[in-house]
């Protein structure tokens, strides 16, 4: 018998055991190993002292310093004539039997099956992380992404029959993320915009700040928060333009607040915007209007029905939000706001 096996390092230590996790209508069993200290490297005055390093919790013979660097909880341990850098973790494993007949499938079908299994395993592990985040108040913990989980096919003895199909892709992505901190090669336009912002002529609005928060939420694995924040960013952009235009028309702050509170975002972008600017997203940009309704449907699925959106769906939501905000800026420029 062969097995689909998912390995992931949970960013905390916990008691070992089997943890059944509800994923939709099915239950996935996550097997968690006892907390361990796993040294990456050690420095000792004599080689045999490395055996004295703790395997579980740190005792009184050692001093330690611990910090979180996703997906690891890192720890430096100092003892008498010995020091080590490693991680504290509880390994999580999800196993699913793979019938012999399925092993005869072509490689593309097998990769797809591994990815579907990986998605279920990742969601189960992230459900555990979310529960720990709330119950232990460890708000800095991030969800795992696909690159944080190793998916393999193994036989009954644990020998690997098929390696993770995304190993090479993950390595390339990690290299790109490391290079993104080097800003020297950015073009002249990027630096001109940076100077403009620093000089005070390019200050960001609340809507811009919220869209940045959405991007950060996605980077930190909070996909649902990213979608909800996209909606808030677009609502802030619409409200800002409408407030300015209603003041031009002599409306009081109380009237403005009552009008904005009584209208949904779709009405603000259509009838209310047409009343005070002469423009309507529904009438003047049909393609963007339909895209906005895709964003609205995704937001409602997330907020009202608890949907976990894919990264691709979130990026599309951010693209729609950015395009709608750019359109509102165009309207503001044309009406002189």
Domain ranges of the chain: 2-164, 204-335
Q: How many CA atoms lie within 13 A of 92 on its CB side?
A: 28
Q: What's the confidence (pLDDT) of residue 241?
A: 95
The set of residues, in sequence order, having a beta carbon less than 8 Å from that of 314 and lying 6+ positions away, is 214, 218, 223, 226, 227, 230
Q: What's the confidence (pLDDT) of residue 38?
A: 81
Q: What's the confidence (pLDDT) of residue 286?
A: 95
Pair 220, 238: CB distance under 8 Å:
no
Would you say domain 204-335 falls under CATH 1.20.120.330? yes
- Tell which residue, 134, 43, 132, has the closest CA to residue 83: 43
Pair 6, 32: CB distance under 8 Å:
no
One pLDDT digit (tens) per residue for the chain, 337 residues: 789 999 998 888 888 999 999 987 889 999 998 877 888 888 888 888 777 787 766 777 888 888 888 777 888 888 888 888 888 878 899 999 987 665 666 777 888 888 889 989 999 999 999 899 999 998 888 888 888 899 999 988 888 888 887 766 555 665 555 556 778 888 899 898 888 878 875 556 899 999 999 998 888 778 899 999 999 999 999 999 999 999 999 999 999 999 999 999 999 999 999 999 999 999 999 999 999 999 999 999 999 998 889 889 999 999 999 999 999 999 999 998 7
Q: What's the confidence (pLDDT) of residue 177?
A: 57
- Tell which residue, 153, 172, 156, has the closest CA to residue 114: 153
CA–CA gap between residue 214 and residue 318 (Å, rounded):
8
DSSP code, position 68: E
């Amino acid at each position: 018998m062969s097995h689909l096996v998912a390995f992931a390092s949970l960013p905390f230590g916990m008691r070992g055991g089997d943890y059944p996790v509800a994923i939709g209508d099915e239950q996935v069993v996550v097997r968690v190993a006892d907390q361990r200290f796993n040294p990456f490297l050690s420095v000792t005055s004599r080689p045999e002292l490395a055996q004295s390093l703790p395997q579980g919790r740190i005792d009184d013979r050692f001093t330690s310093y611990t910090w979180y660097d996703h997906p690891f909880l890192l720890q430096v341990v100092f003892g008498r004539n010995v020091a080590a850098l490693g991680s504290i973790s509880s390994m999580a494993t999800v196993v699913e039997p793979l019938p012999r007949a399925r092993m005869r499938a072509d490689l593309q079908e097998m990769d797809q099956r591994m990815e579907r299994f990986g998605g279920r395993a990742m969601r189960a592990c992230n459900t555990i992380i979310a529960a720990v985040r709330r119950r232990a108040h460890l708000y800095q913990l991030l969800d795992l992404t696909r690159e944080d989980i190793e998916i393999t096919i193994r036989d009954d003895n644990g020998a690997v029959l098929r390696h993770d199909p995304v190993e090479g892709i993950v390595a390339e992505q990690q290299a790109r993320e490391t290079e993104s901190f080097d800003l020297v090669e950015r073009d002249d336009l990027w630096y001109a915009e940076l100077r403009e912002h620093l000089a005070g002529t390019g200050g960001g609005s609340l809507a811009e700040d919220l869209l940045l928060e959405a991007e950060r939420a996605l980077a930190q694995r909070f996909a649902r928060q990213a979608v909800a924040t996209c909606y808030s960013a677009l609502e802030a952009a619409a409200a800002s333009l409408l407030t300015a235009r209603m003041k031009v028309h002599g409306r009081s702050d109380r009237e403005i607040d009552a009008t904005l509170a009584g209208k949904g975002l779709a009405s603000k972008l259509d009838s209310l915007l047409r009343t005070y600017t002469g423009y309507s997203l529904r009438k003047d940009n049909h393609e963007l209007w339909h895209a906005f309704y895709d964003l609205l449907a995704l937001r409602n699925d997330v907020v009202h029905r608890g949907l976990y959106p894919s990264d691709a769906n979130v990026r599309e939501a951010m693209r729609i939000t950015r395009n709608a905000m750019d359109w509102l800026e165009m309207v503001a420029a044309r009406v002189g706001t």
